[in-house]
Amino acid sequence: MSGTKPQSPTIAIFNASTGLVESVEPVVRSDQEWKRALTPDQYRVTRQKGTEPACSGELWKHKGKGIYRCVGCGTDLFRSGGKFESGTGWPSFFEPVSPLNIRTEADRSLFMERTEVLCARCGAHLGHVFDDGPPPSGKRYCINSIALRFVEP
């Protein structure tokens, strides 16, 4: 097997622009690489599971039409059509672009039990999801503005 490179594992991610599921490599970086790629606040929120203060993020009241992508790797996460005003002070969405593009984990920090939302491709902490959202999903994805980058079509 000399000269053959082992294949990297891939994951399925939905591309909102093409409407297709693509096979992509996970984004894995060292702590130092993340610190160079992100601002200190982006790093604190996405890599250290922090949060931005309520009503402080630039995308909290954002009304543009387009896609909200992961600030760490550019994965499509939420559509503007799925955004709603939750009154919480953070951007809120009732569904992701695709369940493939996010993953969730139990979060028992701060003496609470919540469900953390992470980017499926790079593992960035995005925020939390709650069961008190509007129809059709009944979900409220409460996401840190600083973990997102907005892109118009």
Q: What letter represents residue 137's amino acid?
A: S
The single-letter DSSP state of residue 139 is -
Q: Indicate if 142 belongs to the active site.
A: yes
Residue with tokens 């200190």: 40
Whole-angstrom distance, CA of residue 146 vs CA of residue 149: 8
Q: Active-site residue among 73, 119, 122, 142?
A: 142
Mapped onto helix, strand or coil, the DSSP state of residue 133 is coil
First to last CA, the chain: 45
Residue with tokens 């984990």: 105
Indicate which residues carry an active-site annotation: 142
